[in-house]
Amino acid sequence: MALQTLTTLANVLYRDYDKVIRGQIFSKTPALSNLQKNVGVTPLKNNTFYFKSASTGHSGVYHDNGAAGADLLTGEPTYDEPSVSVRFSWGTHQLTDTTLDAIDGDPSAVVDTAEEFAMRVKESMQKDLNRQFYQRGDTEANNAVIATVNGASTGTTVTIDNGPTTVNAIGPSLGTWFLYEGSLIDIGTDAEMGADTDVEATISTVDTATTFTISSAATIVDNDNITFRDSDNNEMSGMRSIADSDNTFQGIARGSNYWAVAHVEETAEGLTEDRMITAFIEANKFGEVNGILIGTQLYRKYASLLTSMKRTSSPQQSLLAGFTGLEFAAGGSGQAVILDHSCPYGDVDFVTFKPEAIVFGEMSAGWMNRGEGIFKPTSLRSSYWATYKTHGNFIARNFKAHARLGAKTT
């Protein structure tokens, strides 16, 4: 039997794990599973999505006494054109030449290796895109934050916020949930991130839910932001950007455009049904909320608010993918309160998952392959690398169809 070449191996790997990732990249996440792609948006070659948004209704509706002879008054709806920049996500891995030698000529080993790498890339990218759905992105202040330092240090151990003992309007307060051994991170203030004067570190070990170790000692300041390396100003715009009232979002300055102001309530306090009812009704004035997304701790808090008279005999089903959760109803049929572990502590998101309200703008997705196969040689090293990419952004087409509570505690 002839030995397989790298080209043959690359082709086999492409067939075997392109389908694995492409079919599952948005699976098992309530938000990503229900976002349609590129509905009503135009991707252009300058890496920007453009779309029309009705800023007011039709002004040609009026009343008179019905007498003939007068011209009818005319009107029109008004539109604005928000725009969204494409953000670039990558998932890269590397195989040594000795690994390729070890599986050379063994088709089953090729497939096993392909599936293993496919699963790891899929899981990590899926989790990262899901994280970005909930947080601030693009060039907003304090964007791309994955954790917040809790206590100054000068060694290698870093302690970070973790709810319910700490709630942070900037970071997600989910401890080490988004961190991995080997992750390259930046630590510093938002200004330091922008000036590239932050601390650059590598995570050696993830030790507990609130601590991790970096590879060399560094001076860390309390309340510093932690981001993935060079992620500042380069991540997608999530719900903390979408459901807001005072930021400039998708090119629209909300301070002078009331039509773009979403309902957001961020009083630091315990979660209450009253706050949830208000947010739900406000979003439903302009949309049709069919997903209420919440993290672990506040999901438990909401469950404790429900008396036996309010509970249903079975979990409420919601969203296109069939996710289930505790029921919530206000002024209409019940919707499910869905648990998502990547939702920041303190946040409750009310989302209209319909293409006229929110979509995922996708410029491209798949393995980097310009005809040379997905494996490419590493310069001057006996290894080969492959990269999966997702180029796009979350796009709110109806700003007021969504709402958010923030800074809520148990």
Note every long-range contact of 247-255, with CB atoms under 8 Å and residues 24 or more positions apart, other chains counting: 247/140, 249/82, 249/396, 249/399, 250/82, 250/83, 250/84, 250/395, 250/396, 251/81, 251/82, 251/83, 251/84, 252/80, 252/82, 252/399, 254/399
pLDDT of residue 301 exceeding 90: yes
Nearest-angstrom CA–CA distance, 267 and 335: 24
Find the length of the chain.
410
The pLDDT of residue 245 is: 94
Burial degree of 16 (CB within 10 A; 0-12, 13-18, 19+): middle
pLDDT band at 118 (very low <50, low <70, confident <90, very high): low
**Average pLDDT of span 95-124:** 62
Contact 163, 346 (CB under 8 A): yes
| More confident position, 257 or 23 | 257
The pLDDT of residue 4 is: 42
pLDDT of residue 370 exceeding 80: no
The single-letter code of the amino acid at 23 is G
pLDDT of residue 176 exceeding 60: yes
The pLDDT of residue 307 is: 63
